[in-house]
Amino acid sequence: MFRENSAEQIAAVTSQAFQMNSAPDAIAKLSELTGVADSIAGAIIMFANPTRYTVMDPRATKALAELGYWNLDQEATSKHYEEYCLRCHELSDRTGLSLRDVDRALFMLGGEE
């Protein structure tokens, strides 16, 4: 599916998305590409700004919920993405781990889907 997007279209959309000031706006822009859902768009903006954004995944939100950091929908959607990043930053600050290490640990703690 993703291959249906032309290189020019991918370049234009990602460039526009990376200029946006909010994660939901950037995710919405990236979701205009064929084959890019909210969770994939979140992963893409993480690469654009890895100190601000991280990858939102249902396994990670499940782990956050089990740790008492999450009481929202566990589906990876743009609606809760900024809140998710905030929780991950809190864990990063508390543990001294990088945001990316927190992301990986939450994914592993979340177990099988």
Span 53-73, pLDDT tens digits: 999 888 999 999 998 889 887
Q: Are residues 41 and 65 in the same domain?
A: no
> Does residue 96 share a domain with residue 63?
yes
Q: How many domains does the structure of the chain reveal?
A: 2
40 and 62 fall within a common domain: no
Q: What is the pLDDT of residues 10-45, one digit of tens each?
A: 999 999 999 998 999 999 999 999 999 888 999 999
Check whether residue 38 and residue 76 sit in a common domain. Answer: no
Please, what is the Cα angle at 39 between 92 and 7, to 5 degrees? 115
**Phi-psi map region of 20: left, alpha, beta (phi>0 left; psi -120 to 50 alpha):** beta
Is there a single domain that holds both residue 74 and residue 32? no
Judgement on whether residues 66 and 44 belong to the same structural domain of the protein: no
Q: Could you tell me if residue 89 is inside a domain?
A: yes
53 domain-assigned: no
Cβ count near 73 (within 10 Å): 11
pLDDT of residue 11: 95
In a domain, 95, yes or no: yes
Q: Output the CA angle 24-18-34, nearest 5 degrees.
A: 70
**Contact of 44 with 20, CB cutoff 8 Å:** no
Are 65 and 39 found together in one domain?
no
Q: Are 33 and 84 in contact (CB under 8 A)?
A: no
In a domain, 11, yes or no: yes
Element (H, E) at 101: helix 99-109
* Domain extent at residue 25: 2-48
Is the pLDDT score of 113 beyond 70?
no
